[in-house]
Chain A
Amino acid sequence: MNRFKTIKELLCRTYRQDPDPAEVARLEKRILGDASKAMKKAVIDNAKPSTTKMWRMIMESNVTRYSAAAVIAVGTLVLLNPLGTSGRGVALAQVQARVAQVQTMVLKGHTTFTSINDPNVSVHYDNVKYISRDHGFVEEGYVKGALFYRVVLNRQTKQALLLLASWKKCLGFPCTQEQIEVTEKLTPTGVVDLFLETRFKRLGISQIEGVEVEGFEVQDLKPIENIVPKALCDIQQGTATIWVGTKELLPVRGEADMVLGANFWTGFMDVRCHEITVLDSYDVALDPKLFDTSVPEGYAEFKLTDLIPFLRK
């Protein structure tokens, strides 16, 4: 109410003033230091069992261990594929079969776009991808911890939502099965399939954060251009590497270097794209609300006229 407007201003001036920056920093260090310790302990104590922990539980019992081993031995014999089977190291066909069993994945990554015409023009952002065979696909981009964009494809409702958080704009549209399949080509499932469909080079055994991995490299990403629409990703050349855990047979890290043609996602510039993606977790419960495509409060519908300022540049 207006009659209280002055009192509200007085209250804000009284209580919302910040002390000097040194005090703010001191308080932040104190609080976040103690909170981080509490959080790390809590994550361990409160974590729900995931398939990785289930695997450890199976291995701790002689009965279940040998049963599991028998299943894997039979499964491996059935699924072995001449492609990529060299008798040593990881067979990508095994990885393909293993990835096909995974129901959910959470991937974290970092992407850098650099303009080909001006290397000083670059964009860096973190991204998180949530993949669920039941619910669909979500990708979020963050710049300095703040949400920048969010893309949702809901497999069950066949709806999609593109959200641009910094502009408070969004675009909802129906999503076809074909579009979902195209998106899946960009997930670990699709990446492993791609490696099997093209010529790859083995990079040998290495270690990533204590996990033994084997590397595979594709030096020609041309085949992918027929899978992904140019409006989404115009790959003109590129190489990709995946590192696969030799025990779990899952891709744990992927890296790609590409030259992309100009489109909306590249800010209408020809760019070099460097992307690193790490498997954060798999077969964890993903909240179905994460795949909600309803328009959030405070967002307006994206219009083509919103693109005019970019097209003029």
Chain B
Amino acid sequence: MIEDRVLIWRFNAGDVEAMCRIYEKYRMDLLAVARAVLRDAAAAEDVLHDVFVQFASQAGRFEPRGSLKGFLAVCVANRARNVNRQRRPEGPMDAEARSSGLPDSLEAVVRAEHRLLVAEAMAQLPPEQREVIALHVLSALRFRQIALQTGESINTVQSRYRYGMQRLRSLLSGQVEL
């Protein structure tokens, strides 16, 4: 993407506005990936913070392999995976996924329930399947980009995605209208 190339150039030249623009552009994608892998909002924010500060410390010599978004998203997924390994085993959802406060409507109640079910289903996936799903669905990365950034073959990436989505479909079937 040409804008990203220019942003990287300006970033390496020390332009703080370029860094802010990169954050603004990809914040939502990166936070979504972190939340999907970690299932904990506070921990997801910490991961985004650490990844972005680490990224900023490369100013002046940053040369991503592949796209900027792909690089950042995989960094987030990797760091989130490491945080997960250090935490307690996966169990019941953290408070973030549960609805808080009084819902406005029946639709809001249903949506909140769906979010909880989806998060619990994702928690049952193997980490590598969860990560590929997060990168492809939430960050809109192509399989080719994910393969390039993770060093896995594109077939492996596609298989993990397919098996993960089939498992999700199986877990959610009967609980959510698919």
Contacts and interface: CB of A to CB of B under 8 A. Distances in A.
Interface stretch (B55-63, B68-76, B82-90, B142-150): B55-63
A145 B17 contact: yes
B20 interface: yes
Interface string A93-132: 0000000000000100000000000000000000010000
Nearest to B34: A15
A289 B5 contact: yes
Interface in B1-54: 1-3, 5-6, 9-11, 13-14, 16-21, 23-24, 27-28, 32-33, 35-36, 41, 45, 48-49, 52-54
Contacts of A19: 41
A165 interface: yes
Contacts of B138: 11-12, 15-16
Nearest to A286: B9
Contacts of A280: 13
Contacts of B49: 27, 30-31, 34
Interface range for B: 35 or more
A307 interface: no
Summarize A's interface: helix, strand, loop or mixed.
Answer: helix
B2 A39 contact: no
B56 A35 contact: yes
B118 interface: yes
Interface stretch (A41-49, A64-72, A173-181, A219-227): A41-49
A287 B9 contact: yes
Which of B18, B24, B57 counts the most A-chain CB atoms under 10 A from its CB? B57
A16 B23 CA distance: 16
B111 interface: yes
Contacts of A30: 49
Nearest to A287: B9
A43 B59 contact: yes
Interface in B130-174: 133-134, 137-138, 165, 168-169, 172
Contacts of B58: 42, 46
B3 A147 contact: yes
Contacts of B102: none
Interface range for A: 35 or more
Nearest to A19: B41
Contacts of B119: 14
Given A12-B137, A36-B16, A39-B59, A31 B2 contact: no
A80 interface: no
Contacts of A31: 23, 48-49, 52-53
Contacts of A38: 53-54, 56-57, 59
B28 A4 contact: no
A7 interface: yes
A283 B13 CA distance: 13
B32 A15 contact: yes
Contacts of B55: 35
Given A38-B57, A46-B59, A289-B5, 13 more contacts: A7-B178, A11-B137, A13-B115, A14-B115, A15-B35, A28-B27, A30-B49, A31-B48, A46-B58, A47-B14, A47-B60, A150-B6, A165-B3
10 contacts: A6-B178, A12-B32, A13-B115, A31-B52, A39-B16, A39-B56, A42-B56, A140-B6, A165-B3, A289-B5
Interface of A: 3-4, 6-8, 10-16, 18-19, 27-28, 30-32, 34-36, 38-43, 45-48, 106, 128, 140, 145-147, 150, 163, 165, 280-281, 287, 289-290, 296-298
Interface of B: 1-3, 5-6, 9-11, 13-14, 16-21, 23-24, 27-28, 32-33, 35-36, 41, 45, 48-49, 52-61, 97, 111, 114-115, 118-119, 122, 133-134, 137-138, 165, 168-169, 172, 176-178
